Structure 1
Amino acid sequence: MSYNFEELTYSEAKDLLRQWRENNERRSEDVMELWTTVLSDDLSKLGNEKHLVLEQVIYAALDCHSYGVATMCIYVLSNEFPGSMRVMRHKAALLEAEEKYDEALEVLDSIIKADETNSAARKRRIAILKAQGLTSEAIKELVDYLKKFMSDVEAWQELCSLYLQVQEYSRAAFCAEELILHQPHNHLMHQRLADIRYTMGGVENMELAKTYYCQALKLNPENMRALLGLFLVTNNLLNHYKSAGNSSKRKEVWKLCQWAQSSAARRQRAARALPATPDLSQMMLALAITD
């Protein structure tokens, strides 16, 4: 929806910003235009919403690289709340946006020193290390963070991704297992752990990957990635059991492989509205061979 901000009254502009806040809409460019055309002339009219609006404008200004506007808003908040750690976080965000990472870290460190339970400041510290490309340092900070905030699901997800970046697959698998403990009914968590185990290789990891792919499909039968992963992992296990001479396990895995292949081919035909042809099965087999 487009707005003609110049025709809005002050009250309408306030209501619009409140609506975006309540709906968690970032709308940074619109917030900045609304601020410059209507609201910035008289802050006293903002009433009880003044500080909320200023914070909203700060992050909109950072998104739009309007650092002067952000600095002005932070200055107003600093005068009204001297020594506030919340305002210090805004200062750190401004320094981070300007790529003044060392200064931003100093501000964040002072916040953490004053309040060790300030999780937001710790997270921003980790984000700055990531922005600088210091992956190992970010991992170390994140591990230390999770010792204090073990139930932070987003932090476990981030740590899992960082371990994957540095190819620490066993530690990434541990993080994925923690995520499953927190969200046992989330099919994506089971799929992620299965992907990691499949990447690690080896018969034991392949068996675990098979189990987690099956669980992901049980939770969400429409998960195509888990279905293709199941086909690939069972195809690899077939080759192992053939050489090992384990006929009972090979028969079980063969049935599962055939089911995954036929299910994936059927869904591809339905999605593309193509007639049934043997080419789709050949595509699945070719995918397994090239894996």
Structure 2
Amino acid sequence: MYEDLSWSEAKDLLRKWRDDNERKSDEVVQIFEYCLADKIKKLGTERLIILEQVFVAALDCSRIKLAEDCIRVLISEFPESLRVMKLKAMLLEALERYDDALDVLESIIKKDETNAAARKRKVAILKAKGQISDAIKELCDYLKKFMSDQEAWHELCNLYLIEGDFTKASFCMEEVLLHNPYSHLVHQRIGDIRYTIGGQENIEIAKSYYAQAVKLNGNNLRALYGLYLCCSHIATSKAQVTKRKEAQKLATWAMSKIFDITNKSSKQQQKSSKTSTGNNKNSTDIEALEAAFGNLDAKLN
């Protein structure tokens, strides 16, 4: 496919993918090998940025030899560059030489404490090594300098969940919520964590988050089922009579909504299926619940 491209067309295509922030690792490696590998000197001022692009793509494709060839040229051109040092750490990480990669990243951070990429790579390596407590400490230090990094807060939440520290995990997701107040998935995630912590107070808090998630997206089955569980718990608790009645009413509504969504989905699947034989019966309540459970593994994007 790419063999017929001229070297200038190949260079322009790689530039377009960089500008559009498209990874396309397999294609990048193929274009480089077919069209550019023997024409490096013709690339002019784009030579080094293309080598960096190919280096990352080669790591994605487990083409270690190609990645080593690219980094060798980059190091010879910029031996003191922090950007190239980060690439070197990525290569060491791909080779599972984690301690060596950490040493390189530490040297980058000593030279530039605000280097966010190096700090994130350090957290990733510590996590890969199973050193979760160290990864948490490093990520907390990072967030002291980059408090608005939503991805970092989200990752810190995941690390706390691994450690079983649900209270701190909830705090992290609340920080994410400050930046995404209209994300039904964030509300749902906080509801999940609060429900897991348990206790009457946390169940009621979880109910509020689930309700908001459903308000933002009425088809969120996980939030609907979480709302049903919370309300069912409150309805059988020692809460005030009015609160119990309200919870029972809301639980009934949530379950009926689950039935409506799953039955509708089931009917659509039946219509689209070409291999089904005989007459299909209407889904029962049990089938609807099974479909609801099957959608409980929805994850944050």
TM-score, normalised via structure 2 length: 0.88
Q: Are the counterparts in 1 of residues 259 and 285 from structure 2 also a CA contact under 8 Å?
A: no
Distance 1:268 1:151 in 2: 38
State whether structure 2 residue 212 is matched by structure 1 residue 205.
Answer: no
Query: Which string of whole-angstrom CA distances, capped at 9 and with x for unpartnered residues, describes residues 105-162 of structure 1?
Result: 1110010000000011000000000111111111111111111111110000000011
State whether structure 2 residue 292 is matched by structure 1 residue 275.
Answer: no
DSSP 3-state at the match of 1:209: helix
Residues 113 and 245 of structure 1: CA distance in aligned 2, closer, same or farther (over 3 Å): closer
Distance 2:239 2:124 in 1: 51
Identify which of 230, 240, 248 aligns with 2:242.
Answer: 248
Which residue of structure 2 lines up, in the alignment, with residue 17 of structure 1? 14
1:264 partner amino acid:
I
State whether structure 2 residue 118 is matched by structure 1 residue 121.
Answer: yes
| Identity between Structure 1 and Structure 2 (%) | 53
Residues 111 and 48 of structure 1: CA distance in aligned 2, closer, same or farther (over 3 Å): same
State whether structure 2 residue 254 is matched by structure 1 residue 260.
Answer: yes
Moved more, 106-115 or 46-55: 46-55
> How far does residue 163 in structure 1 lie from its aligned partner after superposition?
0.6
Superposition pairs for residues 1-291 of structure 1, below 5 Å?
4-240=1-237, 244=238, 246-273=240-267, 275=282, 277-279=284-286
Residues 39 and 210 of structure 1: CA distance in aligned 2, closer, same or farther (over 3 Å): same
Q: Are the counterparts in 1 of residues 219 and 261 from structure 2 also a CA contact under 8 Å?
A: no
Distance 1:12 1:108 in 2: 36
DSSP 3-state at the match of 1:8: coil
2:89 partner amino acid:
A
Distance 1:200 1:176 in 2: 14
Distance 1:38 1:281 in 2: 55
Distance 1:230 1:265 in 2: 14
Which residue of structure 1 lines up, in the alignment, with residue 271 of structure 2? none
Residues 7 and 153 of structure 1: CA distance in aligned 2, closer, same or farther (over 3 Å): same
> How far does residue 12 in structure 1 lie from its aligned partner after superposition?
1.6
Q: Are the counterparts in 2 of residues 77 and 87 from structure 1 also a CA contact under 8 Å?
A: yes
Query: Which string of whole-angstrom CA distances, capped at 9 and with x for unpartnered residues, describes residues 183-210 of structure 1?
Result: 1111111110000000111110000000
Distance 1:92 1:186 in 2: 35
DSSP 3-state at the match of 1:268: helix
Unaligned runs of 5+ in 2: 268-280, 295-301
TM-score, normalised via structure 1 length: 0.91
DSSP 3-state at the match of 1:165: helix
What is the CA RMSD across the aligned residues, in angstroms?
Answer: 2.0
Distance 1:51 1:182 in 2: 36
Q: Are the counterparts in 1 of residues 7 and 39 from structure 2 also a CA contact under 8 Å?
A: no
Moved more, 31-40 or 275-284: 275-284
Distance 1:103 1:91 in 2: 10
Q: Are the counterparts in 1 of residues 25 and 60 from structure 2 also a CA contact under 8 Å?
A: yes
Unaligned runs of 5+ in 1: none
Query: Which string of whole-angstrom CA distances, capped at 9 and with x for unpartnered residues, describes residues 249-270 of structure 1?
Result: 1111011101101111011111
Q: Are the counterparts in 2 of residues 156 and 179 from structure 1 also a CA contact under 8 Å?
A: yes
Higher helix proportion: 1
Query: Which string of whole-angstrom CA distances, capped at 9 and with x for unpartnered residues, describes residues 9-38 of structure 1?
Result: 111211221232233322222211211121
1:263 partner amino acid:
K
